[in-house]
Structures are given as structure tokens and as C-alpha cells.
Amino acid sequence: MTSDPRSAVVVGAGPNGLTAAALLARAGWRVEVFERDALPGGAARSTAALGPGTVVDLGAAGHAFGAASPVFRELELERHGLEWRHSRYPLAHPLPGRPTAVLHRGLEDTAAELGRDARAWRRIHSPLTADMPAQLENLLGPMLRLPRHPLRLARFAPTALAPAGLIARRCFAGAPARALFGGSAAHAIAPLGHPFTGAFGALFGALGQTSGWPVARGGSQAIVDALVAVLHEHGGRIRTGVEVVDLRELPAADATVLNLTPAQVLRLRGPAIDGLRAGTARRLGRWRYGVGVYKIDYLLAEPIPWSDPRSAEATTVHVIGGPGELERAEALAAAGRMPDRPFVMVGQQQVADPGRAGGTGYHVVWTYAHVPHGYEEPREGEVIDLVERQLERFAPGFRDTVVFRNATPPAALEAWDPNLIGGDVAGGASTGLQALLRPGPTLDPYRLGPGLYLASASTPPGAGVHGMPGAWAARAALADAP
Ligand SMILES: Cc1cc2nc3c(=O)[nH]c(=O)nc-3n(C[C@H](O)[C@H](O)[C@H](O)COP(=O)(O)OP(=O)(O)OC[C@H]3O[C@@H](n4cnc5c(N)ncnc54)[C@H](O)[C@@H]3O)c2cc1C
């Protein structure tokens, strides 16, 4: 006689929900995923939002963490069609009145262009680049645990703990190194004066200089499709168009995995939520959400007319200006004030993945600006205007190339994917202890209660399409199964 397999229900089919589901299904569990949207993928979906044949990443586009993700490798997503595509440079940062700074896919190549800052550049990044897989084992999981490679982690600690702005000013003399480091740190979407932002700067930079910041061929959707393929291969199912509001609506299961952020967990109903320990409910209730993003996708008649042609050879371009402007913009957005010169992340995925415009002959360009949490424009078109002014500084004539633009303000992002609260794409602010302890101070971030697990960007190691929160939550469920 065989016993029934263990069972799991997963609420939300973002990359973390799907990763947890795929791992549990692969372990022989009966798995059902419930997703409110019409299609799975969460903030890693792609659609033809700019017309037939176009491929637009609705959320994530650049995959520094995806390409390095241990669980994506374990799930053999490449076997299911995922292909990483690289541009010549992972990152370009145009600077006012001087050549664009570029990050190369090699520490020495990057350092070679940084002149007197070359030594400091190596010193900051080599503790990571020297053994990236070991450092990722240290960093892509809960912070309150014994590290797998303590000596290596200790070497990274001085940079990791310090504010990125301080490191940029103290360690580097020139604008190129300061801008490259600060811009990488700005992926934390936190003011660069905050502790731990140094960790983001060094880690993003080190990933770029090892495995790169690639895009997925055919769009980020290829990552989702590969995760779904693994899930289906092992008998798992996805039910779309189902918004879960009460956990009692779900089939009984050994494990319930929530691919949600803390505020959404607390809005759910059912005995498992009512029965949350007071400390857990309090911790979730104290969770803070951070700076929002305002996304604009463009269809252009020709590639962006960058003043410095090297900017055209990078999939990611940081458009802000000098390092001082970057610090100011990030501090203002976090303080709830719209910067007149916002930080604009530009994605030229088509440079690495030429099929993004279909047969239209146009150019698909993805951008977002950091704006205050939940920002509502006082007049329609304000942020579009500010973003395009920024682009015009480094690519004069940009506006003349625009065939069509599609704007998605913070409220529209949240309406599309409720995990993006106030346009916060990181599942909660990465400021203060929240940068490390997600969701709040706990030794056990993935367990909410008996049989109830949290797997989202609000758990370690945080935001990004890498599936690691899903992997840790699945491991917790597997470990709890008698
Ligand atoms: C504009 C933008 C740009 C980004 N850029 C990058 C990037 O370049 N690189 C990168 O690595 N990351 C990027 N990110 C962040 C990345 O997309 C997220 O960190 C990642 O998607 C988080 O995954 P998740 O599975 O935790 O949540 P999500 O991807 O948000 O998925 C959550 C899912 O749960 C569903 N859901 C919510 N509530 C319910 C409910 N009650 N019932 C059923 N289903 C529900 C949602 O519909 C959604 O499908 C970006 C995000 C955005 C929005």
C-alpha cells in the first residue's frame, strides 16, 4: 500500500511562488498554485505591450541575480528554454561633460579604465569576485545563521556594512568609479547614506563583473515559462484568475506557501491568519514599504541617440549624471519629494536580444524612475517629462525618436500586481535592519506558523528574480514534513 503524497497550495505565481511550487512538486508533493492574474509570472512577466510582435518586460528585465541563482541552476531552467543574453557591457553610466563610465564583465577590464581608482576598485570587489559561488552561499539566504564561508564573509563585511555614499566618497577619487559604485548600490532603492547599501553596490558590481547582468532571450517571461515547465513536468497545477482572500477557500494541504508581502498576509482571512503568534503578527504589521518606481516603456524609431556611443552597447544604463546628483535624487525620493532630476534606470534589452521589437523595425526601450512611495503626479505627464529631460541630457534628440510611450505609475503597478505596494518593487524598504532582516527580526523568516510559509521578496535574500526566497520556504516545508 502506498501512502498519499504530501500536498501544498501556493498563493501567488510570481518567481518565488513558482520556485517553491516547482521544488515541492519535484520532491513528489501534490502542488496547486493559485494566481489572481490571468497568467503566471508576477513581476517577471512579459507581454506585447507596445504592439504586435514586441516583447516588453512588465517588471524585471535585467538578471544579475537570475543568472547567478543557485536554485535556477538546480532546476535546470536552461533545459526548458531559458537562455541568457549578454551585451558588450553589463552597465553604462553617462557622465556630464566626460566619457561614459562602463562596467566590464571582468574586474581587471573595469579597473583598467578607472586610473587612480583601480586599486580601490579591486579592493572593494575582489572579496566577492574571487569566489562568487561561495559568497552567494553566504549572502543568498537568511542573515541570522552561521555563514557557510565565514572567512570570506568577514572579508566582505567592511564594505557590506557601510553606506555606499560614504564608500564612494572615501575610497574613490574620480567620478567614474563613484558613479559606477553608487549606481549599482541604487538597485537597493534606498538612500545611499544608509548602512548596508555598500553591500548592494559591491554585490551588483561583482555580479556584473563575473556572470554579468544578462537579459532572458524572448523576455523575462522565459524564466517564468521555464519554472512553469518544471512544475508541470512534476505534475503541479496552476489555477489563474483566482484571488485568494480567505485561506479556507483553498484545498486542505500540508503546507500553504504565501508568495505575498506582509501587509497582504495580514489582510488574508482564515484560522491560520487569526492564529498567528502575537509576535509574528506584530513583526509583519511593522513592515515598512519603500520608494516607488514609475515605469515608462518606449517604442523608438531608432536606437537611443547617446552622445557617447558606448552607452548604446549596454543593456542597463544609469541615467542620472554625477555621483552627487545620484545621492541627492535617492535621498529626495526616500524623503517623499519628487526629485527634479530623478534616477532613471534604462533597459536596452534589444541590444542583447534583437527580437524584442518583432518585425516592426523599431526599438523597444524599458525605463523606470525612482519616485516617492505611492507618488501621484500633480499634473499628468510630469514624470514622463522629467525622465525625458534626463535622457535628453545624455542623448540629445531622444524625444524625436519616440513613436509611442506606455506609462505605468506606482498605483497602476500595484493594481497589476498587489505585491508592488505603492510602486515598491522590492517587497518592502531595504533601509535600516530591513535590508538584512526580512520580514523583520526573526531567526525563522520563512515560517509563519504551523504549515504556513512565506516566500516572497519580503524574505531573504530579498527582491529580484532569483527564486531564492521560494527555495528557502520550500526547504522549510520539506524539513517540517514528518
Ligand atoms: C518595474 C519593475 C522592475 C523590476 N526590475 C527588476 C530587474 O531588472 N531585475 C530583477 O531581478 N528584479 C526586478 N524587479 C523586482 C522583481 O520583479 C521582484 O523582486 C520579483 O518579481 C519578486 O518576486 P515574488 O515572487 O516575490 O513576487 P511577485 O513577482 O510580485 O509575484 C507575486 C504574485 O502573487 C500574486 N498575488 C498577489 N496577491 C494574490 C492573492 N491574494 N491571490 C492570488 N495571487 C496573488 C500576484 O498577482 C503576483 O503574480 C522589478 C520589479 C518591477 C515591478
Please state the separation of Cα 286 from the chain's center in Å.
22
3-state secondary structure of 108: helix
Query: Cα of 14 to ligand 1 centre, how many Å?
Result: 5
- Is the peptide bond prior to 460 cis by the omega test (within 30 degrees of 0)? no
Question: What does each C-alpha distance from 332 to 80, 195, 219, 243 come to in angstroms?
Answer: 43, 17, 32, 35
Residue-level pLDDT at 394: 98
Of the pLDDT bands very low, low, confident and very high (cuts 50, 70, 90), residue 81 is: very high
Mean pLDDT, rounded, for 43-54: 96
Among 249, 258, 259, name the best residue to mutate to test ligand 1's pocket (greatest count of ligand atoms within 8 A of Cβ). Answer: 259
Query: Cα of 260 to ligand 1 centre, how many Å?
Result: 9
Query: Cα of 42 to ligand 1 centre, how many Å?
Result: 4
Separation between Cα atoms, residue 297 and residue 345, nearest integer Å:
11
Query: Cα of 333 to ligand 1 centre, how many Å?
Result: 21
Pocket of ligand 1 (CB under 6 A): 11-17, 34-37, 42-44, 59-63, 65, 243-244, 259-260, 264, 293, 295, 368, 413, 417-420, 425, 427, 456-457, 463-465
Q: What is the pLDDT of residues 100-137, one digit of tens each?
A: 999 999 999 999 999 999 999 999 999 999 999 999 99
pLDDT at 2 over 60: no
108: CB partners within 8 A, 6+ apart: none
Q: What is the pLDDT of residues 189-213, one digit of tens each?
A: 999 999 999 999 999 999 999 999 9
CB 449 within 8 Å of CB 272? yes
Residue with CA at minimum distance from ligand 1 atom 5? 60
Query: Cα of 123 to ligand 1 centre, how many Å?
Result: 34
CB 148 within 8 Å of CB 157? no
Q: Which atom of ligand 1 is least distant from the CA of 243?
A: 42
Check residue 202 and report its DSSP letter.
H
295: CB partners within 8 A, 6+ apart: 366, 367, 368, 407, 408, 413
Separation between Cα atoms, residue 461 and residue 142, nearest integer Å:
7
201: CB partners within 8 A, 6+ apart: 159, 164, 167, 168, 181, 182, 184, 185
Query: Cα of 43 to ligand 1 centre, how many Å?
Result: 3
260-282 per-residue burial string, b: 16 or more CB within 10 A, e: under 16: bbbbbbeebebebbeebeeebbe
Q: What element of type H or E holds 180?
A: helix 175-185
pLDDT at 143 over 90: no
Among 316, 465, 466, 472, name the best residue to mutate to test ligand 1's pocket (greatest count of ligand atoms within 8 A of Cβ). Answer: 465
One-letter amino acid at 349 equals Q
Q: Which residue has 543574453 as its cell numbers? A: 85
Residue-level pLDDT at 1: 43
Query: Cα of 420 to ligand 1 centre, how many Å?
Result: 7
Question: Looking at domain 7-44+60-83+217-288+427-480, what is its CATH homologous superfamily?
Answer: FAD/NAD(P)-binding domain (3.50.50.60)
Of the pLDDT bands very low, low, confident and very high (cuts 50, 70, 90), residue 217 is: very high
Characterize the bridge pairing of strands 237-240 and 255-258: unpaired
pLDDT at 280 over 60: yes
Separation between Cα atoms, residue 478 and residue 455, nearest integer Å:
14
Average pLDDT across the chain, whole number: 96
Q: What is the pLDDT of residues 381-404, one digit of tens each?
A: 999 999 999 999 999 999 999 999
